[in-house]
Amino acid sequence: MAKKKTKFVCQECGYESAKWMGKCPGCQGWNTMVEEFEPSAKQSSRSYVTSGAAQGTKPQAITTIVSETEARMSTTMVELNRVLGGGIVPGSLVLVGGDPGIGKSTLLLQLSAKLAATNEKVLYISGEESVKQTKLRADRLNVSSSNLYVLAETDLSFIERAIDQVEPALVIIDSIQTVYQDEIASAPGSVAQVRECTAAFMKIAKTRGIAIFIVGHVTKQGSIAGPKLLEHMVDSVLYFEGERHHTYRILRAVKNRFGSTNEMGIFEMKELGLEEVLNPSEIFLEERSKGAAGSIVVASMEGTRPVLVELQALISPTSFGNPRRMATGIDHNRVSLLMAVLEKRVGLLLQNQDAYLNVAGGVRLDEPAIDLAIALSIASSFRNQVTSPTDVAIGEIGLTGEIRRVSRIEQRVNEAAKLGFKRAIIPEKNLGGWSVPKEIQVVGVPTLERALEVALGR
C-alpha cells in the first residue's frame, strides 16, 4: 500500500511546507503550521471540475459565442440587490464574511425568507446550529415559508444528496469551516477541507445553475480565514461589517464578477432583524450638534450613491514630546499629510497639537474628495471658530495647497440640496458643465487658503 504524503499548511494564510516551522514565512504567524495529508490526484481532479463539459471540448472563437444577459433573481431587498449588482445570478457562488455576531446568519435567513416568498425553493444548511435553533431564530425574525427548507449537516456527501432532493434555486452554507469530505483526512476547517469543499460547491453551482451563498469565518486581522485561493474561486466576496457599539451594519463587495465593487448597502439591526436604511445621510446627520467648532459635513460617494456624513476634529495642545494623531473612519496617514499642508501653506502651527478625528456613525471613508472637509474641521477646531451648519465641503487637496477636482460633483451637490444644505464649497475646476439646484449656493475655491476664508471668514 502506497504511503500517504503529508505536508504542513498554515491555517491562517495557506502557506505550504514540507517540514514543520514555528513561524510561518507567509503571514509571520506563530504555531499556525498543521500537518495535513495531501489529497490524491483522483480526488483533486474530481473536486476542481467546474463545468459539465466533456474533456474533449474544443476552443471557440469569441466572435462565435452568443452573449446572453444573465437573468437575476430579485431579493426584494434594495440594499442587497445594489451590492450584488442587481440581484442574485443563478449559478453564482458568493462568499460572505464578517466578525462573529455581526449578523451574517440573520441577513442570510432574511434573504432566504424574501426569496422563498417569491415561490423559489431555498435550502438553508447550518453546520453550527441544530434545526430547532434555526427555527427559534426564524420565529424571532417572523420568517415562515413552506418553500424554505432547513438542514443541519456537515458531511458534504449528505449535503449534495439534500440538494438533489430539494432542487432549490438558492443554497446557503453556514459555514464553510464546518463542512468536510470523508476522503480528506484533515479536520473540518483546515485549509485542505475548506479548499476542496468550496471547489465541490463551485461545481454544483456551475453545473446545476444553483446560486450558493457560503459563510466564511474571519481571522483576528479581519480577513476571511483559510487560503487566499478561497476568494479567487468564488464569483463574489461580500464583507458584512459594523461597530459593536452601533446598530448600523454595512455590506460591501470586495469582488463581484457580475457588478461593481464600489457599492455599499446599509442596514440597521433591530429587535426583529435587519432593516434596510434607504437614506443613510439622514441617519448619520440626525444627531449632529450645531454650533460646535471642528464639525463639518462632507458628501462622499459610495459606489453610485452619495452619502453625507459628519466629520469631527478635536485639536488640543500636546502634553508630551510627540503629538498624537488619532483617526477613526479615515486614514490617519492622510490626516498627518493634510496637517503638514495646513502648517506649510496656510501657516497654522500644528506641530505641537494633538489631533483626534472621527467620522460620526461608524462609517469608513477612503476617497480623496474628503480632504477639504478634513482640513476645514482641523482648522475650525484649532481656531475655535464654528463653521456654518448648512455648509458642505467637497474637494481633494494637493501638496501645494491647491483644491483639485472630484468626480460626480453634481450628484453630491444634489444630495446636499435635498437634505437642506444651503452652501457647497467645491473645487473651482468643478464649476460649469452641470446645472446647480436653486436651493443651494455653490462656491468654487482654487486653494486651501481661499477655502478657509470662505468657511471660517478668516
Helix, strand, coil percentages (3-state) for the chain, rounded to 5, are 30, 25, 45
Q: What is the DSSP string of 120-138?
A: --EEEEESSS-HHHHHHHH
Report the distance separating Cα 132 and Cα 137, nearest Å. Answer: 9
Q: Is 228 annotated as a binding residue?
A: no
Residue 322 is placed in which grid cell? Answer: 510627540
Report the distance separating Cα 149 and Cα 241, nearest Å. Answer: 27
Are residues 373 and 294 in contact, defined by beta-carbon separation less than 8 angstroms? Answer: no
| Gyration radius from the chain CA atoms | 26
Residue type at 406 in one-letter notation: V
Report the distance separating Cα 87 and Cα 77, nearest Å. Answer: 9
Report the distance separating Cα 100 and Cα 54, nearest Å. Answer: 42
Report the distance separating Cα 448 and Cα 343, nearest Å. Answer: 11
Q: Is 174 annotated as a binding residue?
A: no
Q: Is 203 annotated as a binding residue?
A: no
Report the distance separating Cα 64 and Cα 46, nearest Å. Answer: 30
- Strand 248-256 with 264-270, pairing: antiparallel
Q: What is the DSSP letter of 202?
A: H
Name every residue whose Cβ is closer than 8 Å to that of residue 65 and which is 6 or more positions away in sequence. Answer: none
Q: Is 102 annotated as a binding residue?
A: yes
Q: Is 316 annotated as a binding residue?
A: no
Q: What is the DSSP string of 41-76?
A: HHHHHHHT--SS--TTPPP--GGGSPP-PPPPBP-S
Q: How far is CA 195 from CA 8, 31, 162, 169, 227, in A?
A: 15, 21, 21, 23, 7
Q: Which string of b and e fits 329-359 if b means at least 16 CB within 10 Å?
A: bbeeebbeebbebbeebbebebeebbbbbbb
Q: Is 101 annotated as a binding residue?
A: yes
The dihedral sign for the CA sequence 221, 226, 229, 230: negative
Are residues 38 and 237 in contact, defined by beta-carbon separation less than 8 angstroms? Answer: no
Q: Is 99 annotated as a binding residue?
A: yes
Q: Is 370 annotated as a binding residue?
A: no
Binding residues for ATP, by number, are: 98-105
Binding residues, by number, are: 98-105
